[in-house]
Amino acid sequence: MENRTGKFAGSDPFVIARDWLAEAETSEPNDPNAIALSTVDSDGLPNVRMVLLKGVDPDSFVFYTNYESAKAGELDAAGKAAFVLHWKSLRRQIRVRGLVTREDGPAADAYYRSRSLKSRLGAWASRQSRPLANRAALMAEVAKVTATHGTNPERPPFWGGYRIAPLEIEFWADGDFRLHDRFVWRRAQLSDDWSVTRLNP
C-alpha cells in the first residue's frame, strides 16, 4: 500500500472527513454540509434526498429529521443507508455506506435547542412527507403550535437524529484528464480495523 500524503493522509477517516468539511466551509457558497442521503423502501426501490449533516463524530455521521417521515421509516426498516458529500469548489467528494441507529438522547435535545425558534416550531408543525392541502394550512398549524408551545418548545417526540456508522468511506479528489484519486476505507464489522485501498478512477 502506497504512503498516503497531503489531503488523503491520516490514520482516522473521521478526522480526514472533518478536515475536508472544514475546508469546504471556507469555499463552498451554500450548505457545505449538504449530503445526498440514499435509502430503500420496502420493495427495495431507492430513494435519495438532500439533508444537512450536523456532526462528524469519532465513530459516526449525524443528521436530524422527523421520525414520521418517509426517510425515517426507510432508515428504521433497513438499518442501513448511504450518502455522498460533494463539493464543487474543492472538486472532492466523500461517499459513505453503513449502519444506522437513532440519536434520540441528550445530543438530539441539545441540537434541537440550538436551532432558531421558528425552526423548532416548524418541526412541531410539519407532518413531514404526508399530504398537505395548501401552504395556508401549514402556516395555520405553525400559528397553532406557537400558541401551544410558546417560545421555548421541547423537542417533539417524533423528531430527532440518526447516526450512520460506516463500514465503507471513500475519499475522491478530481484529477487532470479524469485521472482522479480515490481511496476507500473498508471494514466488515464496526469492531474491525480499517483496510485502505487505492481505486482506479
> How buried is residue 101: exposed, middle or buried, by Cβ count under 10 Å (0-12/13-18/19+)?
middle
* Integer Cα distance of 171 and 183 in angstroms: 5
- On the CB side of 133, CA atoms within 13 Å amount to 6
Residue 1 pLDDT level (bands cut at 50, 70, 90): low
Q: Which residue has the cell 425552526?
A: 119
Return the closest-CA partner of residue 51 out of 41, 43, 61, 60.
61
Which residue out of 18, 135, 178, 186 is catalytically annotated? 178
User: Among 23-27, 73-77, 146-150, whose mean pLDDT is lowest?
Assistant: 146-150
Per-residue pLDDT tens digits for 51-83: 999 999 999 999 999 999 999 999 999 999 999
Residue 44 pLDDT level (bands cut at 50, 70, 90): very high
Predicted pLDDT of residue 178:
85
Per-residue pLDDT tens digits for 74-115: 999 999 999 999 999 999 999 999 999 999 999 999 999 999
Mean pLDDT of 127-145: 89
Task: Please indicate whether residue 178 is annotated as part of the active site.
Answer: yes
Mean pLDDT of 1-9: 77
pLDDT of residue 132 exceeding 70: yes
Q: Which residue has the cell 435547542?
A: 113
